[in-house]
A and B are shown apart, each in its own frame.
Chain A
């Protein structure tokens, strides 16, 4: 069964790299460029895991995660936060909002896939 991943990032570079890595690994990839778009996707699409950036225009990752968790349907949806090595406080904020885990940028493909498998059945 193909797992569906929603990737949310305002950086096209990161979206493209995620897309490349994930689709090579057999995931189906949906994309959104900010939290609001991400929520819109989740209104109509079912995904198995979400990967989201924190710093985004319109709606940032923290708000996005809060909104997702506030929706009854998505309480058990794993959400991975894209963070950098150094942004421990962002990671903590993301976690406090309901983030399941995190992926440190720059990610290597294998690590990315293994982190996803860590939070998805």
Chain B
């Protein structure tokens, strides 16, 4: 059922938000902010997860969440102290909840005993102080005095059985129940509502309606506790009902069920006919002083003047504003001055008071009547943001991408002659270019999210790592409101986790070592995000020991990553930790190593168009910088030509372009070439050579595109021609073809040609490896 799938999707969406919120709350709670607001937020999150899980029948999740929720509830009301162990247990529980949610999402089954230990601890904690069980609501005790009045709900019986025994002179009559024929399956219910029943918008009428559905029913209103008008309290309750129900299948439970919502707000005595009638334990109202004497006339007329409504209520036997049966109302339109007794007397021969239960709902529901006036206009409530399916946004992103291509194609079609002839068109195209750009930025902004959602998962990672390694580590996060494309964020969690594990495991020293080195006992890992130009930089920095270069180089040589005759620079050694095949189980402890090494971090980051650079200071720490594109979809590039093919180089990596005739190349003994730029020697890569392209362009007419790779290492790319700058929409090569070294992807140009995107960092790394091997 697709509806259900939709709900599930909503539910899982909501769960991931709630889980993130849990993380955030516990970061603060751990830091000592154990206030009620946080606890409530945590409780709500678990409660919501449980609620939805119940709806979908994820029973394992419900079971666990319930135990957790109970614990939280006890913590919330102070029955359990939120000690550190409890916090730790809760954090562990969050994980288990997350695992249960994940399992529910994928349909995988977790081991049956998963989380049972924690659950047992919750239960144990909860048992530690048994919940106080007080429902403190004992029924109030009053004596009841009433004379039953027979009211039939059977519409066929109009006047016949009707008899209002309403005589103020007989107010002190003792109550008696009109005997009913004893019959099998006959039940008698005495129902005495309390004031609270009405205050909670319950309505005896509805209860009668429901009871009526159970069997053949007759209802008698019991009126005699009604005080004289002078003492009459409009919102108080003065009457009760005697209900007789006949149905062969009726049970007491079925009757109780009807009164489920009003339990405690009324007195109910249910007896099967034939059994002894137990007097009702408690009528609702204190018996009013019996005042048989007629009140002063003035008072009466005053009362009547305002009492139209109230009198109606009186007749309706409920304090709810409901129209009274017409006949009864009529009878009250006697000239004022009549004594109350006379008035009451005048009621006697009145036509039967049609019990409200039989009246048409439309006629007697003022609330409903009110509402009909404002039908149709629905008000958006509390809308500050809307939730849009990511697919829809992506569709827009794609279309904007195509628009960008079309726009750049149009611009390209305008050669000089056309430009000269159609100045208006040129201006129009310029505006179009600007608007397209703006549109693109706006669309990208929709996809952007603060990195907070990823950062917030890290504090507890660090905490766990600290516990596991016995190191003291604190995490600082900076710039967590920096926004990046949602897809990038989703891809960021694993690499970041790995880098932090790496820092905690290999970087930060043990507290003793740190103290011995004169460092603070607690190591710091700083996680920061900032925007730099068209990129987002995510930096993981620690104040640990730094990379052990000797060991890294030794390992790299051992694995043949670095040839024995090559002596890499310190910086190159640092980068080696990302080299494919470098990380092995040997190089990793059980913390960092989960079967993947830092090379996986690199390839993950590359997949989203980013790069990683590491820098280390021996004894002082290590800094890993992730450079990520602001957006994944569109890239500003320089279009170049190599041989007959167009290539594009990401503009963000280009430092400058130089004509080859002006460039200072120098041969190096190994046979390669370097370029001297302002005193710095830069590795030269001839793209024609690298990509095996035939070039007919004379060497002097070619161009150098000076690019900056990671860690401000420069590389000079030689191309045949520079065509110009433009924006391209990135198409993945891996998805459509396969991964190619030195190529980051492909794109379709304005003229329909395919151009490959040069992967500057990749090229540089491949060359290093070539040399190294």
Contacts and interface: CB of A to CB of B under 8 A. Distances in A.
A4 B376 CA distance: 10
Interface in A22-68: 28, 30-33, 37, 40-41, 44-48, 55-57
Interface stretch (B42-50, B149-157, B242-250, B715-723): B42-50
A35 B7 CA distance: 23
Contact of B52 (A11, A28, A33, A77): A11
A4 to B, nearest CB: 6
A73 to B, nearest CB: 9
Contact of B365 (A40, A56, A121): A121
B22 to A, nearest CB: 14
B373 interface: yes
B371 A48 contact: yes
Nearest to A79: B201
B381 A40 contact: yes
A94 B131 CA distance: 19
Question: How big is the B interface, by class?
Answer: 35 or more
B52 A99 contact: no
Nearest to A46: B371
Given A14-B55, A75-B199, A121 B379 contact: no
A46 B362 CA distance: 16
Interface in B376-407: 378-379, 381-382, 387
B11 interface: yes
B35 interface: no
A47 B52 contact: no
B467 to A, nearest CB: 31
Contact of A98 (B10, B47, B200): B200
Interface string B690-723: 0000000000000000000000000000000000
A105 B201 contact: no
A121 B201 contact: no
A14 B379 CA distance: 19
Contact of B206 (A48, A75, A106, A121): A121
A92 interface: yes
A106 B55 contact: yes
Contacts of A1: 362, 368, 372
A20 B7 contact: yes
Interface string B1-17: 00100110011011000
B375 interface: yes
Contacts of A13: 7, 10-11, 14, 48, 51-52, 55
B382 A32 contact: yes
B350 to A, nearest CB: 25
A45 B374 contact: yes
A72 to B, nearest CB: 11
Contacts of A41: 379, 381
Nearest to A15: B10
Contacts of B44: 10, 55-57
Interface string A83-118: 010100000100100111110011100000000001
B236 interface: no
Contacts of A79: 200-201
Given A1-B368, A98-B201, A12 B10 contact: yes
A92 B137 CA distance: 11
Contact of B201 (A32, A57, A78, A84): A78
Interface in B291-339: 320-321
B202 interface: yes
Contacts of B361: 121
A44 B13 CA distance: 31
A115 to B, nearest CB: 9
A32 B54 CA distance: 22
B566 interface: no
A119 B261 contact: yes
A67 B382 CA distance: 19
Contact of A37 (B6, B210, B381): B381
A110 B200 CA distance: 24
A78 B381 CA distance: 21
A44 B378 CA distance: 10
Contacts of A40: 381-382
B53 to A, nearest CB: 9
A76 B198 CA distance: 8
B379 A30 contact: yes
A11 B370 CA distance: 30
Contacts of B260: 101
Contacts of A120: 206
B51 to A, nearest CB: 5
A120 B364 CA distance: 12
A66 to B, nearest CB: 12
A61 B374 CA distance: 25
Interface in B127-169: 135
B532 interface: no
Contacts of B371: 4, 46-48
A77 B201 contact: yes
B51 A101 contact: no
B206 A84 contact: no
B55 A33 contact: no
Contact of B54 (A4, A84, A119): A84
A57 B41 contact: yes
Nearest to B57: A106
20 contacts: A10-B44, A12-B10, A12-B13, A12-B387, A13-B55, A14-B48, A16-B7, A28-B375, A30-B379, A46-B374, A55-B48, A57-B41, A57-B44, A76-B203, A98-B199, A106-B55, A118-B206, A118-B210, A121-B361, A121-B367
Given A46-B371, A76-B198, 7 more contacts: A11-B14, A13-B10, A28-B375, A32-B382, A48-B367, A98-B200, A121-B361
Interface of B: 3, 6-7, 10-11, 13-14, 40-41, 43-44, 47-48, 50-52, 54-57, 66, 135, 198-203, 205-206, 210, 260-261, 264-265, 320-321, 361-362, 364-365, 367-368, 370-375, 378-379, 381-382, 387
Interface of A: 1-4, 10-14, 16-17, 20, 28, 30-33, 37, 40-41, 44-48, 55-57, 69, 75-79, 84, 86, 92, 95, 98-102, 105-107, 118-121
